[in-house]
């Protein structure tokens, strides 16, 4: 295992600080994730540092290039005062790099090998760059993470089968509806999760695909790409009695399908409506009624356990790729520290 030399005085270090579903649970994460990423990036209070914030259904982590770890922790607690005693988890140097590479590879996901996290990491990195929060260590380690993620998905079977929550949602609808041929499915949202669900639905030869989003132009672009149609956002509840399934994947902080709508559906259907709720916090009100079957994020995760078992054999191969890419990053970092140290020594002569 490659070991980095300790940074010299004032040298920046890579720091990873955050919590995940295992430490916090999805409900607390949903509450904490309401903090807007762009607001954190714009108001980041630690000068001379780089910052990438990775916020998903299952983790809230900051990757920082900083000289003062305590200042980073203070900023984290200032933005997220709801952290419990003992939180957050802090990693530095090579440990931080390995963790990010494992995250991008899908080794830390609720679903082994899920592919959405790689896109989420890219989005987080691009947001940091757009806000002027990028830095050399972060550039290098995130590109190493992207490379590791691509290699794991291309060189191993870790990502075989259903491997994302969106994939689990589509699989659940397919199973409960007896196939999707001839069925009508309404997708609420046009963000990353919704786009993945729409693509997977199209791959299953869906009978009729309908997309509704608050921004109609986004829905139109998504629907047209996969041969679907759009519905005005205001009509979404009115069509629930006549569609077969729903995938709800918006970023709304409150339910977009309320208890009254569920009660109306229950009273006006003869066959069950199957709903996959991918929202965090939930897009569908917690209101159990006859003839409406709702799968939430937790339930969809349970449905993936069988797939995880089949992928477990590929974990060793994926971890070997992560170790190789981490060693390459560590070698680059060690060389950088040595060059800076030699430069400082020459300047002092």
Q: How far apart are CA 82 and CA 34, in angstroms?
A: 12
> Measuring CA to CA, which residue among 27, 112, 29 is closest to residue 296?
27
For 272, which DSSP code?
P
Tens-level pLDDT at each residue, the chain (349 residues): 333 334 444 567 899 998 887 776 666 676 666 666 777 887 887 777 899 999 887 888 999 998 888 888 888 888 776 555 557 889 999 999 999 999 999 999 877 778 789 999 999 999 999 988 989 999 999 999 999 999 998 998 887 667 678 988 999 999 999 999 999 999 999 999 999 999 999 988 899 999 999 999 999 999 999 999 999 999 999 999 999 999 999 999 999 999 999 999 999 998 999 999 999 889 999 888 999 999 999 888 887 766 666 677 789 899 999 999 999 999 998 898 888 777 665 666 6
Decide which of 3.30.460.30, 3.40.50.300, 3.90.320.10, 3.40.47.10 is the CATH code for 13-158+315-348.
3.30.460.30
| Model pLDDT, residue 257 | 97
Residue 33: the pLDDT is 64
How is residue 252 written in tokens?
């709304």
pLDDT of res. 42 = 79
Residue whose entry in the numeric block shows the structure tokens 């299952």 = 58
Cα end-to-end span (Å), the chain:
35
| pLDDT at residue 5, rounded to an integer | 38
Task: Indicate the SS3 state at residue 285.
Answer: coil
CATH superfamily of 165-297: NAD(P)-binding Rossmann-like Domain (3.40.50.720)
**Does residue 129 carry a catalytic annotation?**
no
Residue 3: per-residue pLDDT: 38
- The Cα 275–Cα 173 span in angstroms is 8
In 39-97, DSSP assigns E strands to 50-55, 59-66, 89-92
- Please pick, among 4, 57, 284, 315, the residue that the annotation labels catalytic: 57
Domain ranges for the chain: 13-158+315-348, 165-297
Q: What is the pTM assigned to this prediction?
A: 0.61
DSSP string, 141-204: HHHHHHHHHHHHHHHSSTT-S--SHHHHHHHHHHHHTT-STT-EEEEE--SHHHHHHHHHHHHT
Residues 207, 183 contacting (CB under 8 angstroms): yes
Distance CA 318, CA 273 (A): 39
> Rounded to whole angstroms, how far apart are CA atoms 295 and 247?
10
Beta strand 13-20 with 59-66 is antiparallel
Predicted local confidence at residue 102, as pLDDT: 97
Per DSSP, 79 falls in state H
């Amino acid at each position: 295992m490659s070991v980095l030399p300790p940074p010299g005085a004032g040298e920046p270090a890579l720091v990873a600080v955050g919590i995940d579903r295992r430490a916090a649970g999805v409900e607390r994460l949903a509450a904490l994730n309401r903090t807007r990423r762009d607001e954190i990036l714009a108001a980041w209070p630690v000068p001379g540092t780089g910052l990438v914030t990775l916020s998903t259904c299952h983790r809230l982590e900051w990757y920082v290039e900083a000289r003062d770890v305590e200042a980073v922790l203070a900023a984290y607690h200032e933005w997220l005062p709801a952290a419990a005693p003992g939180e957050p988890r802090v990693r530095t140097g090579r440990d931080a790099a390995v963790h990010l590479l494992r995250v991008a590879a899908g080794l830390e996901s609720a679903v082994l090998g899920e592919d959405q996290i790689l896109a989420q990491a890219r989005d987080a990195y691009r947001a940091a760059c757009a806000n002027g929060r990028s830095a050399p260590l972060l550039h290098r380690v995130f590109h190493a993470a992207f490379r590791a993620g691509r290699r794991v998905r291309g060189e191993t079977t870790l990502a075989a089968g259903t491997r994302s929550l969106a994939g689990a949602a589509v699989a659940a609808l397919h199973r409960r509806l007896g196939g999707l041929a001839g069925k009508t499915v309404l997708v609420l949202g046009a963000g990353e999760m919704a786009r993945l669900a729409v693509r997977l639905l199209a791959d299953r030869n869906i009978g009729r695909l309908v997309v509704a989003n608050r921004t109609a132009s986004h829905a139109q672009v998504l629907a047209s790409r996969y041969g679907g149609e759009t519905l005005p956002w205001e009509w979404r509840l009115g069509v629930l009695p006549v569609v077969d399934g729903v995938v709800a994947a918006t970023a709304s902080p409150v339910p977009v399908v309320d208890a009254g709508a569920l009660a109306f559906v229950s009273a006006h259907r003869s066959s069950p409506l199957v709903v996959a709720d991918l929202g965090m916090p939930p897009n569908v009100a917690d209101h159990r009624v006859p003839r409406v079957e709702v799968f939430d994020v937790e339930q969809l995760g349970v449905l993936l356990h069988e797939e995880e078992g089949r992928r477990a054999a590929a974990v060793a191969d994926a971890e070997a790729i992560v170790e190789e890419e981490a060693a390459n990053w560590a070698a680059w970092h060690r060389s950088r520290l040595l060059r800076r140290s030699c430069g400082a020594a020459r300047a002092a002569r």
